[in-house]
């Protein structure tokens, strides 16, 4: 069973094929190297949660854009986007970013929106479905929602473990 099949049960709004394409896009925007990438940090899960909530008006654009990326990949390389090599995926995404895809006039807008949302998913407050285990924050040295800093941290790099907001505790007060 691949990771898409394992994860689709946890998705609220995205369909299996959409998850597969979006994960392939997210992996090219913020790939796994010696550190976790967007897929491992759950950026796609964040996007799904957002599309089921505050970003619901963007769902039609997401669906249309994901279908268009797959169609363009099939037309250009005779394979779905997720099946392409990294170089081929980058070519397709570069054409979307440039807005030079005749089958989808909102290609550039779609690409920028997805890129932005992938980055949101990497660096968001974990309660929103992304930034699993605060990995995104750890990558950039962000300490999260600390209650204050000792004088030793003023004008210095903070080396504290990240802390996420616990809204359940905040609501109890």
Q: What is the pLDDT of residues 6-63, one digit of tens each?
A: 444 589 999 999 999 999 999 999 999 999 999 999 999 999 999 999 999 999 999 9
Instruction: Note the pLDDT of residue 73.
Output: 97
| Token digits of residue 139 | 């990558």
Instruction: Note the pLDDT of residue 170.
Output: 52
Instruction: Note the pLDDT of residue 5.
Output: 42
| pTM tops 0.75 | yes
Backbone angles phi, psi at 9, to 5 degrees: -65, -25
Mean pLDDT in residue range 86-93: 98
Give residue 160's Cα distance to chain centre. 25
The whole-angstrom separation of Cα 130 and Cα 120 is: 8
Instruction: Note the pLDDT of residue 150.
Output: 60
pLDDT bracket for residue 147 (50, 70, 90): low
pLDDT bracket for residue 166 (50, 70, 90): confident
Instruction: Note the pLDDT of residue 173.
Output: 52
The whole-angstrom separation of Cα 140 and Cα 38 is: 14
pLDDT bracket for residue 157 (50, 70, 90): low
Q: What is the DSSP string of 51-114?
A: HTTTTGGGHHHHHHHHHHHHHHHHHHHSS-GGGS-HHHHHHHHHHHHHT--TT-TTHHHHHHHH
Compute the C-alpha angle 23/24/30, nearest 5°.
80
> Maximum distance among all alpha carbons in the chain?
60
Residue 4 has pLDDT above 70, yes or no: no
Instruction: Note the pLDDT of residue 2.
Output: 40
CB within 8 A of 20, min separation 6: which ones? 4, 80, 82
Q: What is the pLDDT of residues 90-138, one digit of tens each?
A: 999 999 999 999 999 999 999 999 999 999 999 999 999 999 999 999 9
pLDDT bracket for residue 3 (50, 70, 90): very low
């Amino acid at each position: 069973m691949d990771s898409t099949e394992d994860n689709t049960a946890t998705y609220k709004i995205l369909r299996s094929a959409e998850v597969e394409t979006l994960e392939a896009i997210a992996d090219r925007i913020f790939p796994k190297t010696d550190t976790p990438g967007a897929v491992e940090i759950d950026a796609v899960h964040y996007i799904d949660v957002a599309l089921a909530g505050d970003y619901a008006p963007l769902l039609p654009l997401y669906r249309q854009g994901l279908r268009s990326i797959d169609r363009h990949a099939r037309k250009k390389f005779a394979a779905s986007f997720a099946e392409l090599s990294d170089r081929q995926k980058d070519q397709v995404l570069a054409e979307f970013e440039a807005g030079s895809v005749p089958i989808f006039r909102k290609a550039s807008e779609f690409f920028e929106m997805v890129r932005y949302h992938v980055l949101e998913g990497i660096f968001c407050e974990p309660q929103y479905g992304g930034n699993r285990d605060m990995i995104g924050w750890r990558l950039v040295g962000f300490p999260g929602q600390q209650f204050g800093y000792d004088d030793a941290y003023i004008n210095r790099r903070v080396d504290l473990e990240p802390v996420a907001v616990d809204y359940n505790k905040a609501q109890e007060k």
